Structure 1
Amino acid sequence: MSNRALCREASHAGSWYNASGPQLSAQLDGWLFQAQTSKRPARAIIAPHAGYTYCGSCAAHAYKQVDPSITRRIFILGPSHHVALSRCALSTVDIYRTPLYDLHIDQKEVWDTQSGDWFIISTCLLGSVLWSVAPSNPPFHKDEFTIVPVLVGALSESKEQEFGKLFSKYLADPSNLFVISSDFCHWGQRFRYTYYDDSQGEIYRSIENLDRMGMNIIEQLDPVPFSNYLKKYHNTICGRHPIGVLLNAATELRRNGTNMSFSFLNYAQSSQCRSWQDSSVSYAAGALVVH
């Protein structure tokens, strides 16, 4: 690789963040201030990745659980929205450019973790930016951590297990943080998903019930029930494969005696669907802690 730093510019700059520079920093700090902190720092979080106008308040509940004083490397696992993949993709760029400051990619870790199932691309298409880099109290020192962005394709259950086992050794390290980037139900004709349980009342209540079923299963930290839930309801959780990798990584650590738990802390919807012409996207924020 040449000495010239290869950069990936911010995705959807402007419309995605709804602010820039000091305005964005103040906006993120406001959401973080309103969120509660748990007693133990998160080793992994599940957080939404839509525009901050829609999911910023919800996402803050996950990112508030991050302890910047101990975090040195951040693995960001997100779904492949635009590229058909049956494995995982790593980036060859050195820097992710954000409206706040540049994020440096841990290229040593990228190359050390390669196996035959990785697929290297020049620019990751991850639709999210590390959100907890916003100034907060205590501050996140931008030069004291690196990121490892991983684009997760449509993995089979066996591949989710393989990647989970690979990532488990990193999940065991308290200086590492895993950010699982995922929205939850995408409901409406434009998403080709209109599951509705009329016993729940309004459509948006049926959507929430469906999401919370999945959230309750994720909290069990067992990939098998989550896989069965997806097969039964086909809930359009875009980060289902990154979530599956995390559940398998957690299962591996628990098998080796590590005590951990996962809890969802917040849930929201972009709008409340009441008719078949409506549409919405759901957001959930949760954190995994090691005891």
Structure 2
Amino acid sequence: MAIASVRPPAVAGQFYPGDPLVLSAQLSELLTTAVPLENVPPPKAVIVPHAGYIYSGPIAATAYAVLAPLRDVVRKVVMLGPTHRVAVDGFSLPATQAFATPLGEVPLARADWLALQARADVSVDDRPHAFEHCLEVQLPFLQTVLGRFELVPVLVGRANAEAVADLIESVWGGPETLILISSDLSHYLSYEQARHCDRATIEQVIRLQVGLNHEQACGATPINGLLRVAQRHGLEPHLLDLRNSGDTAGDRGRVVGYASVAFCESPAHAAAPRH
């Protein structure tokens, strides 16, 4: 059976508009009205939520707004997110060589795609990616903010923080490479419970304290890996936004938590000798 070379959008018209003009208008509005809690330099890595745009879009937009100065710098985005539909041991890369959205196609970074396959814990399989939303919903934002770039889409299954950190290190690159972790926070707590739980989770992230569990964040595994790498590279986390679906478009009986966090190189680390 022939393998399709392009992964078509799976959740366009559900998580975000399927019409490109409507989608572009919504993205423009979200990015224009985004006001991050902190003014930060352009980040090396971000944590961004992945729900439907009416729920998490305003929170995600605060992360993408701070990426705007990198439009002519970033040429590769390494995306890691949790599998919601298909169980995976280790990590999954797609066999397809591009991801499509209503705004066009994003090619995979083929050299990285080939190099990652040398890892024993990486499989190449379109099935986990076919209907997965956590990476797809980030793409229209990235297409709007960055323009042209290549993609390294990694779904994270049963893996430990050190394995995730090692994979991230292998594709770390320089300023041309952005690391993006796709994750929501708590699920289906009451509004006040979620506010308390999510604040504690973010305080742990800000301390670069590895050990998040999947009740705190569905993307806990890739986040833990990023935290470990951030420690090594002297990155400083900055909270950009922390809200939940009760603040945006949902009722407050059972909510889902969302945060955007930027990881930036500290001035002290940037000035330190590299040899």
Q: By how many angstroms is 1:252 displaced?
A: 3.0
Q: Does 1:133 align with 2:142?
A: yes
Q: By how many angstroms is 1:61 displaced?
A: 0.5
Q: Residue 74 of structure 1: which of 69, 74, 77 is its match? A: 77
**RMSD of aligned Cα (Å):** 2.3
The answer as to whether partners of 1:5 and 1:95 remain within 8 angstroms in 2 is no
Specify the alignment match of 1:284 in structure 2: 259
Q: Structure 1-normalised TM-score?
A: 0.80
Unaligned 5+ runs, structure 1: 189-202, 254-258
The answer as to whether partners of 2:80 and 2:156 remain within 8 angstroms in 1 is yes
**Mapped partners of 2:200, 2:114: distance in 1:** 38
The answer as to whether partners of 1:168 and 1:250 remain within 8 angstroms in 2 is no
Q: Does 1:27 align with 2:26?
A: yes
How has the CA–CA distance of structure 1 residues 131 and 247 changed in structure 2, closer, same or farther, with 3 Å as cutoff?
A: farther
**Mapped partners of 2:154, 2:251: distance in 1:** 36
How has the CA–CA distance of structure 1 residues 6 and 268 changed in structure 2, closer, same or farther, with 3 Å as cutoff?
A: same
Q: Does 1:104 align with 2:107?
A: yes
Query: Which structure 2 residues correspond to residues 75-90 of structure 1 after superposition, within 5 A?
Result: 75-90=78-93
The answer as to whether partners of 1:222 and 1:251 remain within 8 angstroms in 2 is no
**Mapped partners of 2:94, 2:57: distance in 1:** 26
**Mapped partners of 2:87, 2:166: distance in 1:** 23
**Mapped partners of 1:215, 1:25: distance in 2:** 30
Unaligned 5+ runs, structure 2: 267-275
Q: By how many angstroms is 1:121 displaced?
A: 0.5
**Mapped partners of 1:213, 1:252: distance in 2:** 23
How has the CA–CA distance of structure 1 residues 6 and 19 changed in structure 2, closer, same or farther, with 3 Å as cutoff?
A: closer
In structure 2, what residue type is equivalent to 1:151?
Answer: L
How has the CA–CA distance of structure 1 residues 274 and 121 changed in structure 2, closer, same or farther, with 3 Å as cutoff?
A: closer
TM superposition outliers: structure 1 runs of 4+ over 4 Å: 272-275
**Mapped partners of 2:186, 2:241: distance in 1:** 15
**Mapped partners of 2:163, 2:228: distance in 1:** 8
Q: Residue 208 of structure 1: which of 195, 209, 212 is its match? A: 195
Structure 1, 170-179 or 281-290: larger mean CA deviation:
170-179
In structure 1, what residue type is equivalent to 2:196?
Answer: N
In structure 2, what residue type is equivalent to 1:68?
Answer: R
Q: Does 1:263 align with 2:238?
A: yes
CA distances 1:114-161 after superposition (whole Å, capped 9, x unpaired): 30011110252441322433435xxx333xx10000000032xxx321
The answer as to whether partners of 1:31 and 1:60 remain within 8 angstroms in 2 is yes
Q: Between Structure 1 and Structure 2, how many residues are aligned?
A: 253
Q: By how many angstroms is 1:287 displaced?
A: 0.7
Q: Structure 2-normalised TM-score?
A: 0.84
Give % identity: 29
